[in-house]
Amino acid sequence: MDAHVRDVVREMSKASDEERITFPAVVKALMEVKIERYHADLVAGRKIYYLPDGDLEEVEVDKVGGAAREFSAEGVEKAVRSIQREEIRYREFCRLIADAGCVGYFVSLAGRRAVYYGRTADAHIEWFPGARP
């Protein structure tokens, strides 16, 4: 991964943790540098960004802490709607999805969706606004 792309993914991670940027702005910046997808591990405090050729960059981010044992797709969806309406910011969003049993999520920029998953691989797919299968 070239230095410019590496700088962008690191800045997007930091800006998210510091609540200086919205998810749509993150998506736009990542797409501009051709990031295809990324994975956020809420418990380990890591995000891994992938280019289409398989090149990747791992970034340390704020840990959320423990997640609830039971996964609640409804709880995740409620948190997603709250952040979309700008009622909450990123850290609160992460806390709410962890409370709903989410331990991590995958964001596919190419697929225009996010997949939130729990300890037992129960999952909730959230399409980007305006995107549907």
Is position 59 within any domain?
Answer: yes
Q: Which two tokens stand for residue 1?
A: 């991964």
Residue 19 belongs to a domain: yes
pLDDT, one tens digit per residue, over 16-52 is 999 999 998 999 999 999 999 999 999 999 999 999 9
- Amino acid at residue number 104: G
Residue 132 within a domain: no
Q: Which element (helix H / strand E) includes 126?
A: strand 123-127
Q: Are 119 and 69 in contact (CB under 8 A)?
A: yes
Range of the domain at 60: 3-127
Residues ≥6 apart with Cβ < 8 Å to 124: 71, 73, 76, 77, 102, 115, 116, 117
Query: Which CATH number goes with the domain that contains 89?
Result: 3.30.1810.10
| pLDDT tens digits for range 39-88 | 999 999 999 999 999 999 999 999 997 888 999 999 999 999 999 999 99
Number of domains in the chain: 1
